[in-house]
Structure 1
């Protein structure tokens, strides 16, 4: 019997969750149940896996188990960038091995396609917009990053536009940046709205249980998932819960639960929108990975996302929120001095499952146990495509992309504590300090 020693418990003021449509959560599980398939985690990966398992095995019952509420957890807390391009931060040109990059591009594009088709087929109101993204630099160091990425994009044969800082206000309303690299293939979404919509259009042979945190697991010929109000017995288990997969006894010390923090303003008034200028809908990512991500949303709010913490138990620390909200305020004021009276309505945290070698896990973890874990910050596209392809692999469907994922070495092992926390915290501190005005 494996005891699950840490459970998700996200903070309560996620702006994406509160500004998306409300829905009635599915009932929590009670009593004794049996199913052919059980999937743990109703984020992008788990929703995709459960959907595709149900389609591949229409006579089987698929149980999807969520510890919290759909749209409230990690998948509803990111910045909403469904990115198409590979971005290997370990490579000088951010592309690296060209064959790997081309396959990664195919994976990301397939993830985008799956989501586009589901949003169109089911009328999911998630403000999906193929608006591209701006990767923006403040100083010379950031400009050098953009130049390196341009070389990589040239090698990959992908289009882009270099925008001088003087021209940027016409795009994003601020003259704060020195240069930006615009790539057209990114799709922006309201992430919590998308996750909620995906959960509400699952095939009929998927049963979703929310507010059902699993506390114990028994592995063997059957998988027994126990929680405080009952048990679910399944023939096969799929783990789609990212870093919490380690709490189920697998891939220990390979995934780093790193938290990012975001704030969302109130809606801008018509006068403030005119003062800001620029396009009505856009997204900016920083040239420096430790800098600030920005969004202007469909309802004319501004999102600021920066600041990191390493929380080994995978749970947020709410006492960090006021401190990081002050950082968000400073970042906002630097970029938007024309909006001095615009306050934040929401501040929240969201976790990333990162590995030291920037690789995820895909495949079999143990007899009757499978997983698609560790998205390394690309959960929308990568989670969607790996969840879908894992279900196809379990159905015996051949696909070169599946072969590529199976052949990937997976996340490597990190040092034990206390060396792990010391090393990660030092890296985060130095990275944020070095980012300077990018943050």
Structure 2
């Protein structure tokens, strides 16, 4: 028996969760259960895998297990961008190999289209999914250089892009803080917690979802036995869709980096406050510097600020850390919106990312009758949705070109041992945030 050494534990103040539709969670599993298919993780990847397995095997029961409540964990804590275009910061033009970039574009768009179709099919209106595009904005010279390089790379890929100068940009996003932005029209914006709640409530009838059901130990064999606080689940086939926590199930150990990033959400702006900034009523900005600030103006006229990072090796939140980052959020917010200094934050929270040193995730078979789609590297909304769906199709014998691309991709690199790992990652995070300058 392998005991699970760390269980998901997030802070209690995720803004997207608390400002979305109040939902009655499915009850935890009491006692024993058995099914041909068991999926661990109720985020974007797990929801997609469970849904597609249920559609591919309509006579089979699919058990989906979530340690917390759906929408409360990582999938409900991101910035709500469904990004289509690739962004390889290791390549001079941020695109790199054209064939690889085209596959990544197709994979991201696959995730987008799946989510868009489900929102329409199941009328998940509170997800607020809008095809708004995204602005990648810069204030410093190095950020402008990134935008120029990225523009060239995207044009080589045949993607539509538009460079918007600072004076005109204020008419779009209501702030004159930035000098320039690269607008890409293919991105969709959502209320992420509302979206995953809606996805969970629209699962096929042959999916049994158990929330607040942490897995505490696992026995592998011809069938897999999963232990939870009041019993066992026996799986003919197990699918791991729990990102960094897959390490505690015995796979990809020492290959993933649980990085947390942090967001704050204001109260709704008054009509006078909205008029003071102008701009569109719904938009999203990502920074030219990866350590800079992400911004959103939401459907209910709040402003999201997201920046600051921490390395949490056990994948769990650090108590009290949100108090430390709120000051950084405040400074970033007031730099961009000096007329809104009296607008307070209602929520500040952290959320985990399963990063890898080479930016590669894992897709495929982990051992006999155990499969995984793990390590989304910050693109869990679209990448997780696509890989969860493709994995379920692969298990039904429905291979396609994107499946072959994922199976042939490099696997996540090994990390250095501790304490060198923590020293190195923490140094990288500190220096990266310091060098972000005004982009932060």
Report the TM-score when normalising by structure 2. Answer: 0.99
Match in the other structure for 1:356:
357
Question: 1:262·1:306 contact (CA, 8 Å) conserved in 2?
Answer: yes
Match in the other structure for 1:421:
422
Match in the other structure for 1:159:
160
Match in the other structure for 1:397:
398
Distance in 1 separating the partners of 2:300 and 2:200:
23
Distance in 1 separating the partners of 2:346 and 2:399:
48
Match in the other structure for 1:347:
348
Question: 1:13·1:348 contact (CA, 8 Å) conserved in 2?
Answer: yes
Tell me by how many angstroms 1:318 deviates.
2.5
1:392-426 deviation digits (Å, cap 9, x = unpaired): 00000120110000001111110110011011001
1:227-280 deviation digits (Å, cap 9, x = unpaired): 111110010000000000001110001110000000000000000000010000
Question: 1:360·1:375 contact (CA, 8 Å) conserved in 2?
Answer: yes
Distance in 2 separating the partners of 1:398 and 1:371:
16
Distance in 1 separating the partners of 2:417 and 2:21:
43
Superposed CA RMSD: 0.5
Distance in 2 separating the partners of 1:205 and 1:409:
35
1:176-202 deviation digits (Å, cap 9, x = unpaired): 001000000000000000000000000
Distance in 1 separating the partners of 2:60 and 2:234:
14
Distance in 2 separating the partners of 1:65 and 1:416:
31
Unaligned 5+ residue runs, structure 1? none
Match in the other structure for 2:92:
92
- SS of the residue 1:260 aligns to: strand
Distance in 1 separating the partners of 2:146 and 2:423:
27
Unaligned 5+ residue runs, structure 2? none
Match in the other structure for 1:56:
56
Match in the other structure for 1:121:
121
Distance in 2 separating the partners of 1:352 and 1:40:
17
Deviates more, 1:319-328 or 1:71-80: 319-328
Match in the other structure for 1:371:
372
Question: 2:68·2:214 contact (CA, 8 Å) conserved in 1?
Answer: yes
Distance in 1 separating the partners of 2:73 and 2:412:
23
Distance in 2 separating the partners of 1:121 and 1:353:
30
Question: 1:30·1:231 contact (CA, 8 Å) conserved in 2?
Answer: no
1:265-319 deviation digits (Å, cap 9, x = unpaired): 0000000000010000000000000000000000000000000000000001122
- SS of the residue 1:412 aligns to: coil
Consecutive aligned runs of 4 or more in structure 1 exceeding 3 Å deviation: none
Distance in 2 separating the partners of 1:265 and 1:58:
44
Distance in 2 separating the partners of 1:418 and 1:284:
36
Tell me by how many angstroms 1:5 deviates.
0.4
Distance in 2 separating the partners of 1:346 and 1:286:
22
Tell me by how many angstroms 1:320 deviates.
1.2
Question: 2:39·2:240 contact (CA, 8 Å) conserved in 1?
Answer: yes
Residue 210 in 1 paired to residue 211 in 2?
yes
Match in the other structure for 1:269:
270
Match in the other structure for 1:282:
283
Distance in 1 separating the partners of 2:204 and 2:430:
45
Where do residues 72-111 of structure 1 align in structure 2 (5 Å cutoff)?
72-111=72-111
Deviates more, 1:85-94 or 1:60-69: 85-94
Distance in 2 separating the partners of 1:397 and 1:106:
17
Match in the other structure for 2:259:
258
Distance in 2 separating the partners of 1:46 and 1:384:
8
